[in-house]
Amino acid sequence: MARHWRAGAAGMAILGLTLTACGGAKVGDDSAGGSGESGKCGTFNLAVNPWVGYEANAAVLAYVAENDLHCKVNQKDLKEEIAWQGFGTGEVDAVVENWGHDDLKKKYITGQKTAVEAGATGNEGLIGWYVPPWLAKAHPDILDYKNLNKYAANFKTSESGGKGQLLDGDPSYVTNDEALVKNLKLDFKVVYAGSETALIQAFRKAEKDKEWVIGYFYEPQWFMSEVPLKKVKLPAYKTGCDANAEKVACDYPVYKLDKIVSAKFAKSGSPAYDLVKNFTWTNDDQNTVAKYIAVDKMKPEDAAKKWVEANRSKVDAWIK
C-alpha cells in the first residue's frame, strides 16, 4: 500500500511541477496600479435604494468619487427604511434620492439626530395617476379625473369587485389613493399590485395589447422612455391640501428630491461629502443614465462613465 501512495505522490508532484513551469502570469504581477488610492477621501458608504433612477444617481456619484476623488466606494443595496437606520451605526454615509419621507426625517434628523439634509438633487418628482399612451390618444378626455367615472366600467378586473381598478404599486410609495378615490367620489377600487415590477409589467402589457389600465406612477422613471405614460389631471395641489390624510382631495405635490447624509459624514471633511452636497442634475440627465442601465442593459459603472465623459463640465462643478 505504501508503494502506491509514494508512486501517486511522486506522480502528482511531477504533474504539479510541469503545470507550474508553464504557468503564465502570476497573481499580483500587475498590482503596481490601483493601490495608493483612498488617500484623503477614505471610504464612502453609499446606500442604493431599489429603483433604477436612484441607481443612476448612485452610479454617477460612485464613479466620480472613485475616479476623481480616489475614494473607496461601498455601494450597499438597501430599502429606504433600512438605509436610514444605517446612518446611526455608521454603515451608511449617504442616501442620494429621497422622496419626501417626512416620517423618516422626523425620526432620524430631528429625533435621533443621526442624519442631516444635504440639499436637492435637482430632480423633480411627480407622482400621480397615469394611463398608457394609446388610451390617452383614443380617449383624450380621460386625462381629466372628472371623466373617469364615465369609463370606470372599462377598468373592471377580476380583482376590483365590480368597480374600476386603480392599480397601486410598491408599498413604500407615498400614496393617498384610497382617500382620493373616496373624496373625489370615483367609482374605483384601489388594488395593490405590491411591487414596482408588477406595475411596470401591467403598463407595458396595457400599451402593447391596448388594454385599459390606470395606475399610480411617478417620474423621473426609466420606463417612461420605453412607454411614455400620460398623467391624469387631479384637482390642483395647494399647500396644506394634503394635511389631513383622510380628507385629501387634491393632486400630489411636486417633490423636490433631496439627499440625506449621516451627521458623522457631514462633519468628516471627506471630499466625498462635498461631492454629495454639490451634486445636482436634471430629470433628463437621470433618465439618460437610467435608460443606459435599464433599457440598454449597461453595467451601472459603464453607464456612469459614458454620461460623465459626455458631461465633464457638470461633473467638474461638483468637485471644483
Closer to another protein by CB, 74 or 280: give it.
74
The angle, 0 to 180 degrees and rounded to 10, between the axes of the packed helices 271-278 and 52-67 is: 140
Asked if residue 258 lies in contact with residue 98, where contact means CB atoms within 8 angstroms, the answer is: yes
Q: Which of residues 44-103 bind another protein (CB under 8 A)?
A: 50-52, 55, 76-82, 85-86, 88-89, 91-92, 103
Q: Which of residues 25-44 bind another protein (CB under 8 A)?
A: 25-29, 31, 34-35
Residue 127 pairs in a beta bridge with: 218
Which amino acid is it at 230?
A: K
Q: Which of residues 123-142 bind another protein (CB under 8 A)?
A: none
Of 38, 67, 112, 268, which one interacts with another protein (CB under 8 A)?
A: 112
Number of residues that bind another protein (CB under 8 A): 74
Q: Is 156 in the site for another protein (CB under 8 A)?
A: no
Minimum CB separation from another protein for residue 120, in Å?
Answer: 23
**Which stretch, 120-128, 143-151, 290-298, 301-309, contacts another protein (CB under 8 A)?**
290-298
Q: Is 172 in the site for another protein (CB under 8 A)?
A: yes
Contacts of 281 (CB under 8 A, 6+ apart): 60, 121, 122, 123, 314
- 274-277: Cβ within 8 A, 24+ apart: 274/319, 275/61, 275/64, 275/65, 275/69, 275/318, 275/319, 276/61, 276/93, 276/94, 276/96, 276/118, 277/118, 277/119
**Which stretch, 105-113, 121-129, 274-282, 309-317, contacts another protein (CB under 8 A)?**
105-113
- Set of cell numbers at residue 129: 395617476
Closer to another protein by CB, 162 or 320: give it.
162
Q: Which of residues 220-279 bind another protein (CB under 8 A)?
A: 222, 245
- How far apart are alpha carbons 256 and 83 in whole angstroms? 20
Minimum CB separation from another protein for residue 175, in Å?
Answer: 9
- How far apart are alpha carbons 29 and 237 in whole angstroms? 63
Closer to another protein by CB, 65 or 191: give it.
191
Minimum CB separation from another protein for residue 221, in Å?
Answer: 11
Of 13, 254, 310, 317, which one interacts with another protein (CB under 8 A)?
A: 13
For the chain, the first-to-last Cα distance in angstroms comes to 74
Q: Which of residues 185-214 bind another protein (CB under 8 A)?
A: 190-202, 204-205, 209
CA distances (Å), origin 273, targets 108, 203, 261: 19, 38, 8
Minimum CB separation from another protein for residue 88, in Å?
Answer: 7
